[in-house]
Amino acid sequence: MTNPSAVMKLSPVVPVLVIEDAAYARPIAEALVAGGLFALEVTLRTAAALEVITEMAKVQGAVVGAGTVLNEADLRSSIDAGAKFIVSPGLTEPLGKAAIASGIPFLPGIANAGDIMRGLDLGLTHFKFFPAEASGGIKALKAITGPFGQCKFCPTGGITQASAPDWLALDAVLCVGGSWIVPPGAPDVAAITALAHKASLL
């Protein structure tokens, strides 16, 4: 799967996961897949993140990606850990070129028209709009997408179960990133499965 569009269409909500303990990885991934969410973003914000990616990748049906990828070293270690897609909070030319060269689906963060234009220069058309609410919300994304009809987005940052449907109603939005599905700490598998199921129906 080299097309970011294919990853973005797996689920209406991509869970954004910050997991401190690799022992939680498989139960969380199994609960999310059971609830109907298949694209899972594990952020590189914890010491356990790479091990979490490796463990989650063993769960049938889970398409596990790495988030908070900041540079080429993060990119390489994420791919080595088993990541199937890459998400970054922003876009730099070195990271963009390295991600494209690797062939892995890449979703760089953008917040304005200049970011998108830099992405288009690299041949990219799929982006993470981040931080979505802090960058002006739906009104801002509508304004930004006007000149860029060829682009598709995954808004992430401040989105909730309640606000997600409004974002998903936008033609340019293929999915949203959400952190509400998996709260921090030891996983409550039944609760995660229920929240995932609810999100999968958006």
Distance CA(67)–CA(157), nearest Å, equals: 13
Distance CA(58)–CA(94), nearest Å, equals: 30
Determine if the pTM surpasses 0.85: yes
pLDDT value of position 1? 53
pLDDT value of position 63? 98
Per residue of the chain (202 residues), give pLDDT as tens.
568 999 999 999 999 999 999 999 999 999 999 999 999 999 999 999 999 999 999 999 999 999 999 999 999 999 999 999 999 999 999 999 999 999 999 999 999 999 999 999 999 999 999 999 999 999 999 999 999 999 999 999 999 999 999 999 999 999 999 999 999 889 999 999 999 999 999 9
Dump pLDDT digits (tens) for 163-187.
999 999 999 999 999 999 999 889 9
List the catalytic residue out of 30, 55, 84, 128: 128
List the catalytic residue out of 30, 41, 84, 152: 41
- Active-site residue flag, 72: no
56: number of Cβ within 10 Å: 28
Query: CATH for 4-200?
Result: 3.20.20.70
pLDDT value of position 143? 96
Distance CA(167)–CA(157), nearest Å, equals: 12
pLDDT value of position 2? 65
- Active-site residue flag, 133: no
Which regions of the chain does DSSP assign to beta strands (E)?
A: 13-17, 39-43, 63-67, 86-88, 106-110, 126-129, 152-155, 176-178
